Amino acid sequence: MTRPPKPKTRRAPAPGAVQLPAVVPPPLDPSQDHPAEAFDRASRGALARLVGGVSPPAFIKAWSEWAQHLALSPGRQLELAEHAQRNLLKVMAHAASPGSPPPFEPKPFDRRFTHAGWQSLPFAAWQQGFLSVQDWWDHATEPVRGLRLEDAERTRFLARQTLDVLSPSNSPLLNPEIIEETVRTTGRNLTDGAAHFAHDAVKILTGQRDPPPEGYRIGTDLACTPGQVVFRNDLMELIQYAPQTPQVQARPILIVPAWIMKYYILDLSPENSMVRYLVGQGFTVFMISWMNPTAEQRNLSLEDYRERGVMAALDTVNAIVPDVPVHAVGYCLGGTILAIAAATMARDGDDRLASATLMAAQVDFAEAGELLLFLDESQIAFLEDLMWEQGYLDRPQMARAFAAIRAEDLIWTRAVRRYFLGREDVATDIGVWLSDTTRMPALMHSQYLRALFLENRLTAGRFAVEGRVIALKDLSVPLFVVATETDHIAPWRSVYKTQLFTDCDLTFVLTKGGHNTGILSEPGHAGRYFRLSHRPTGALYTGPNAWLARTGTTPGSWWPAWSEWLMTRGGGLVEPPTMGAPERALPPLGPAPGTYVLQA
C-alpha cells in the first residue's frame, strides 16, 4: 500500500474550539449486546429481511393515524363518498360511449396500459375502473387537519402498493397484451415466463448473479477508458486516465462517485462515457473506485469515507499534479461527501480546490422526496437491526425501496413483460451497471441516515467533522450544481436548495432525465435539453418555482456548457502529467478499471 505525503495546507483544530459530538448510532456489532437484546435484534433483523427493510410499526402507525383523523371528519367522509360516486358515473358513462375520451389517464411514468387493446371493451372498462379507484385513494390520502404530512404520504404509498398488486394489467385473464401474446405463441410465452420466474427465484434465494452478457464486459466494453490505478488503500482505488490530447488543462479533475453503486456509471460505454468525454476535451481526470465492503468492514464510518476516501484521493492528485488547485466533482452520495469535505477544507483554510461540481447530490434533506417515507427513527432502527448481524446493507435490500417508489414501472411492468409475455430483459449498458450491486458498511450507513436524512445536520449547522461544526456558507470556490427533472432519488427542488445554503458563485443546471439518465447526457443524445442559470457571489435567493418560470431551455447536452465552464477555470494548457508519481512512491499499480470494481 502506498500513501502520498500529507499537504502542508491542512490546519489542526483551533484550541478551545466549540465542539459537537458526532452522530453515534446504537452498537452494530453483535458482540457488544446483551444476550436478550441480541435475540431481539436478530429477530427484528430476520423480519426486516422478509419485508425488505420496511418497518411494519411505522406504516401501521401511519394507517392508524389516517383512519382516526378520517373518523373524526364527517364532512371529509361525505366528500369522499361523493368523489367515489362521481368516479363511478364517469366510468359508466365512458363504458356506454366507446371511443369517447377516457376520464382517467395513467400517471406519466405508468406504462402498464400502453397497449392498444386497453382502448377497447371490456379492457377499457377494467382499466378505467382501476384508474378511478387509484384517483379516489390519491384524494382520500390527502392531508387532513391534524394529520402529519408524513403519515398521509405513507398511507398513500401503502394504498398505491396495494392497488398495484391488484391492477388488471397483472392478470393474464384481464390484460389484452398477455391474451394476444398467448394466442399468438399458443402459450409459449407463459412457459418461457415460468422459466424466467424460476431462474430469478433461484438467484434471489442463492444470492447468485448472472454474468455480464456478451458485449458488456467490465474493462473491455464498459469502464474501458484507458488509465492506471495510481493509489490504493483498503477503502478505494484511484484511477488516473491517460491523456488523449497533446496538451491538457493545468488543473486536473477529481471525480467522487457514489459508493452505493460501482463508479463506472460515469465511464459506461465509449459513446456515453463522461470520463472519455472530459479526457477528450483536454482534462486530466482522476476517478475514485470504492471497494465493495464485507462484514469485516462493518465499522467503517462516514468520516473514513471523507478522510481515507476523498482527502486521500486529493492528496494523491496533488502529489501527481503539484502546485495547482483541483476541480472536484461529486455524483449522488459522492457529491454529498464532497460538499462535506469542501466545507471542512474551507473551515480549515485548505485552498486546494479550484471548483466543485455536484451532480444529483443533496446537501439538504428536508425535501428528499419519497425516500423520506422510509426514514424515521423506527425505520432506521429497523435497518440497523438488518445490518446488525450481516455487517452491511446489501444493495438489493435498498434497491427494493427505490423500486417501490416507481413500482408501476420498475416492478410490475417488468414482471408482466418477463413472466407473462416471456420476454428476456434487453441487455443495456446501464442495465448491466444497475445489476452490478454493492454493499454499504453498517456504521457508515447508519451515520449517514441519522446525521443527514433524519436530523438534516449539514444545513442545520449541527454537522461536525473532527469534533467541530462545518458550514456550507464557508464555501468560496465556484460551484456547478446539476439536477435532473424526473429524479426520484434526489428531487431537483431538493438539489436546487444548495443555492439557499451557499453564498459563493454558483451555476445551476436542470437537465432532462432521471437520476442516472439525466447525468448521462452525452452530446448527440436525441431529445435532450437543459436549463442553465448563474448566481453571482452574494446574490439574493430565488425560489425554485420562480426560477423555473423565468429560465428557458437550451436544446442538447449540458456537458459542453460544463466543459466550457471548467475550461475558463482550467489554468491554461500544459504538457500532460506523468501517470502516477514514482518519485513520490506513487507508481502505477495496474491498468484501469482496477480490481475493486470487479469485487462481487
CA distance 450 to 495: 19
CA distance 147 to 139: 15
CA distance 451 to 458: 8
CA distance 453 to 363: 10
CA distance 414 to 139: 28
Q: Which residues pair with 533 in a beta bridge?
A: 508
Non-local CB neighbours of 339 within 8 Å, separated by 6+ positions:
330, 356, 358, 361, 363, 458, 472, 498
Phi/psi for 187 (5° steps) reads 90, 0
Q: Is 71 exposed, middle or buried (0-12, 13-18, 19+ CB in 10 A)?
A: exposed
Using DSSP, state whether 126 is helix, strand or coil.
Answer: helix
Residue found under cell 420498475? 410
Using DSSP, state whether 330 is helix, strand or coil.
Answer: strand
Using DSSP, state whether 90 is helix, strand or coil.
Answer: helix
Residue found under cell 456548457? 561
Provide Rg for the chain, Cα atoms. 26
Ramachandran region, residue 146 (left: φ > 0; alpha: ψ -120 to 50; beta: rest): left
Task: Note if 332 is an active site residue.
Answer: yes
Question: To 10 degrees, what angle do helices 35-50 and 377-390 make?
Answer: 100
DSSP string, 396-453: HHHHHHHHHHTHIIIIIIHHIIIIIS-PPPPP-HHHHHHHSB-EEEHHHHHHHIIIII
Q: Where are the alpha helices (DSSP H) in 289-405?
A: 302-304, 312-320, 333-348, 377-390, 395-405
The helix (run of H) or strand (run of E) holding residue 509 is strand 506-511
Q: Please tell me which residue in 178, 332, 444, 452 is annotated as part of the active site.
A: 332
C-alpha cell at 189: 410465452
Using DSSP, state whether 555 is helix, strand or coil.
Answer: strand
DSSP string, 534-550: EE-TTPPP--HHHHHHH
Query: What single DSSP character describes residue 249?
Result: E
CA distance 239 to 591: 9
**Which residues does the annotation mark as catalytic?**
332
